[in-house]
Amino acid sequence: MRGQDPSCRITRNRRWQLGAAAALLLAGTGAIAQVAQITMVPQLTGQQPPMSIQPAKPVPKWVVDDARRMRNYPDQPPIIPHSIEGYQLSVNANRCLSCHRREFTQGSGAPMISVTHYMTRDGQMLADVSPRRYFCTACHVPQADIAPLVQNKFRDMSDMGVKPAGSE
């Protein structure tokens, strides 16, 4: 023992510790991988392999009855109740405004866009539609006659038994 180098003992101990840590890390990674496979989120698209060639689904039919729909919550943007296929919506042109702009609603019979679309974000009124509200389809969408991908469990407050203020 007298002639042995003490640093040799430390090196052997250090190797043993590193080996044990690597074994624990490997075992822990395998356990995490097994748990992750169990709790994986299911695909919404079905059981087809992701890169397989599948026939295209038919294009859904748009709801084009021009009937206004009930909104689900107070600030919900109204849906577009007519076809917008072929509408030009770019920086230079917005076909929606040819009917829904304040000046044209009497002749077209279309509802006027909200006065909030004529305001800056600071609340100042503008003479024309605000640039941040110019692209209508950022908030307003046409309604298609299809089944939803995810079931909607939304219930209105009135359906849950909540009475309006002052009705008691």
Task: State residue 67's pLDDT score.
Answer: 82
Task: State residue 119's pLDDT score.
Answer: 93
Q: Walk along the chain (168 residues) in steps of 10 and give the mean pLDDT of each run.
A: 56 78 73 60 63 80 83 85 87 90 89 91 91 91 84 79 74
Task: State residue 88's pLDDT score.
Answer: 86
Task: State residue 152's pLDDT score.
Answer: 81
Residue identified by tokens 């002639």 is 3
Three-state secondary structure call for residue 32:
helix
Task: State residue 1's pLDDT score.
Answer: 52
Long-range contacts (CB closer than 8 Å, 24 or more residues apart) made by 69-73? 69/143, 72/154, 72/156
Residue identified by tokens 């076809």 is 83
Task: State residue 69's pLDDT score.
Answer: 83
